[in-house]
Chains A and B, each alone.
Chain A
Amino acid sequence: MKKAGKTEEKIFKVLMIVSTYFIFAVLALIIYSIFEKGIRAMSWEMITQPPSGGYYYGKGGGILNAILGSLTLAIGSTVLAFLLGLPVALFINVFLIRWKKLVSFIRFLLDLIWGIPSIVYGAFGFTVMVFLGIQTSLLAGIITVTLFILPIMIRSMDEILRTVPIGLMEASYSLGSNKSETAFRIFTRQTVSGIVTALLLSFGRAIGDAASVLFTAGYTDNLPNSLMEPVATLPLSIFFQLSSPVPAVQDRAYASALVLTLIILVVSIFSRGVGRRYHKTKINF
């Protein structure tokens, strides 16, 4: 019995090590294949010019329209979601802190909303647009993506805000500040790094998601110039170029994927660095 247990442990330990390194290997393989394919097709023209006339048959031009479009869309919806989300997160943690049951119900609801697939948001956005008679546009894309990232934004800010010690709140009240002041002046300052991380996380989600913008933001070869015009996005640009039968255009999809991956990587590294940066404003207990 004892011996069997030992062998079992050994077998499982080997399996554990294999699966752990398997995850690293897969990550390395993904990054490697994207870079290897992407760099070959990458050129200065790709990232500095919008598509020219015969771009989708392999002629000149680039994906500047998609890069700028994605950035505008992602920044727009991150800002909007932040403006909507921060009050909610503060409200839960400052005003409702006594109603524990209600707070946990709201968290539960937010988690449920988080789980809704992005294509459902896309489809919903589309029905609303048809109902109101709006064409695909940057604005519609921003609103849909905002709804999609809102639960992510609120829940990640909420997770940080709930770590604020109750003593800090009491200290603030005892100095005569009211609840709103406590929320917006004290709580936000204490959790700056966490809030920035939440922003970056949501930004990464917003820029990488294709299913929600497929119906709502449309696609165009022009650079984004108006809220009412359709806008190109990187994920869709990758998808469309990849579906092309022309090999040269497919290669460009790899380059576009490299651009998108790089943006995501930079955001991810940045959000790891932020935590250390803003330690100064934090009061330690």
Chain B
Amino acid sequence: MSVLVYTENWDGKFKKLSFELVSYAAGVAKLLNTTVAAVSIGRVEENELKKLGNYGAVKIISVNNDQLVSLDSQAYASVISEISVKEGASVIVFANNNTGKAVAPRVSVRLKAGVGSGVSRLPLNVDPFTVYKRTYSGNAFAHVIIKSAVKIITLAQNSFDLIETANNATIEILNISVDPSLLKTSVKDVQKQSGKIVLTDADIVVSGGRGMKSADNWSPLIELATLLGAATACSRPVSDEGWRPHDEHTGQTGKIIAPNLYIAVGISGATQHLAGISSSKYIVAINSDKDAPVFEAAQYGIVGDAMKVLPKLVAAVKEIKK
């Protein structure tokens, strides 16, 4: 018996999310009186792999195979399932991100393992195995009992703190070749914006809504974000109007994020918007309408015109950065 965790890498590097996953898996392993094995797929150097040991992985299994350079969910699921069986995993942990959502359900079918997705706490109980998950887009949480012998958990990003431990990890390089009949997708082109902070990774997000009044008014918001090392985001009407790109839309049908700090500027706070940001640790609302629902979700609020408030915030951040 063990807890297996899939740790994705980005160009050979792990991110904070990877370490959250390992810390979480170590917490689950402790409840079950067992240990954590981490699986990495792709070219990751040994000193990078070793970092997973700092958060409680006892065994690190590295699969590096030319067939697995880009994400093919069918092939990845076959590799992870094979390792799970070999390791006798009773719990498998994925991130509840694009990759986890692509691979976890396929592993579920291969291993007849029930899935608890978007989980944000350690299991509430180990018998029956009960997880705590987000439902109704954050308007409710559910206690879900997973009845199968093998359980799959997808962990919500930024929901679990890093826990460092003594590193006793061993690294195993595993050669697995994938049946070519499982490789049916091919990536023809990759289009990446360089230098932009990835919205779902950002610790701080500064987001603008209709209260910004026009596409031309964004520069103080961007300046504030740059000074804070924050990503920029927007509400749905803003991306629909074309003031900002669609990939910045946060909300129920856009990106769902959970930064440490979310600053909502000129956003009224419709249910659909709050559904995408309600897991943020701190929410700041800046809005000229004192009755805007966003203030009910916020810990800090300023009732005022964004165009007057933003320059003051920019000046104040410059002052503390001196």
Q: Do A and B bind each other?
A: no
